């Protein structure tokens, strides 16, 4: 069996920036994010011969990163003096109440986004998304990335974040509501040429 020639250190270096961004979103600490990315690439290099090319290299690396991040959270939990951030006010959905009138309908109609997928290939849209993700509170960002990037189910997310099922659902709700509002304000409302073309 020969090693896949496409998988080498240079190949991995291409993926490092995104792995680092994902790690940082979840760990919120530069050195710790650097560490898990390093561990991920080391594990990947060691396992490169086993990479079958069935999935994209990026997907494969994100899968390894997921395990490294989960391990990191578990180690943190095992050392109570380095507790994960408390949930704080991340368990309330009260800050979205203003969106709704007393009868439970939208106080203001959600804006149309036109054809939002056209924005996906624009790097300026990715910058806007990054700003919105950076603005999420820590546990909200963790839950959202675990769900939408790491493809974990909610049971596993609750377990790894050590929160109740209800709180876990609230985190995902907060993430989606916040990101929807943030992208609307930060991109779709400010990009008349893009957002309102239809």
Partner 1 sequence: MRVTCKQASHLICADLDGRLRFSQRLALRLHLLACAACVRVKAQMGFLRRAMTAYVNQDSHAVQDKRDRGKAPPEAH
Whichever of 48 and 146 has its CB closer to partner 1, that residue is 146
Residue 78 beta carbon to partner 1: minimum distance, rounded to whole angstroms: 28
How far is the C-alpha of 179 from the C-alpha of 140, rounded, in Å? Answer: 11
What distances in angstroms separate CA 43 from CA 1, 37, 159, one per listed residue? 19, 10, 24
**Does 94 engage in binding with partner 1 (CB under 8 A)?**
no
SS3 call for 14: helix
**Angle at which helices 9-27 and 30-46 pack, to 10 degrees?**
140
Whichever of 67 and 176 has its CB closer to partner 1, that residue is 176
How far is the C-alpha of 48 from the C-alpha of 57, rounded, in Å? Answer: 10
Residue 82 beta carbon to partner 1: minimum distance, rounded to whole angstroms: 28
Rule CB under 8 A: which residues touch partner 1? 14-15, 17-18, 22, 56, 58, 62, 96, 99-100, 103-106, 109-110, 112-113, 116-117, 120-121, 123, 126, 129-130, 133, 145, 147-149, 153-154, 169, 172-173, 176-177, 179-180, 183-184
């Amino acid at each position: 069996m020969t090693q896949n020639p496409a998988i080498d250190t240079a190949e991995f270096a291409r993926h490092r920036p995104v792995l680092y961004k994902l790690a940082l979103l979840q760990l919120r600490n530069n050195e710790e994010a650097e560490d898990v990315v390093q561990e991920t690439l080391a594990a990947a290099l060691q396992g490169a011969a086993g990479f079958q090319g069935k999935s994209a290299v990026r997907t494969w690396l994100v899968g390894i990163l997921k395990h490294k991040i989960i391990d990191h959270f578990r180690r943190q939990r095992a050392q109570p003096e380095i507790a994960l951030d408390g949930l704080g006010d991340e368990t309330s959905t009260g800050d979205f109440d203003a969106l709704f009138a007393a009868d439970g309908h939208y106080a203001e109609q959600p804006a149309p986004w036109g054809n939002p997928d056209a924005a996906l290939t624009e790097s300026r849209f990715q910058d806007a998304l990054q700003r919105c993700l950076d603005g999420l509170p820590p546990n909200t960002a963790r839950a959202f990335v675990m769900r939408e990037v790491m493809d974990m189910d909610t049971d596993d997310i609750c377990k790894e974040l050590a929160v109740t099922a209800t709180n876990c659902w609230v985190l995902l709700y907060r993430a989606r509501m916040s990101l929807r509002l943030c992208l609307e304000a930060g991109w779709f409302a400010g990009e008349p040429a893009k957002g309102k073309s239809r």
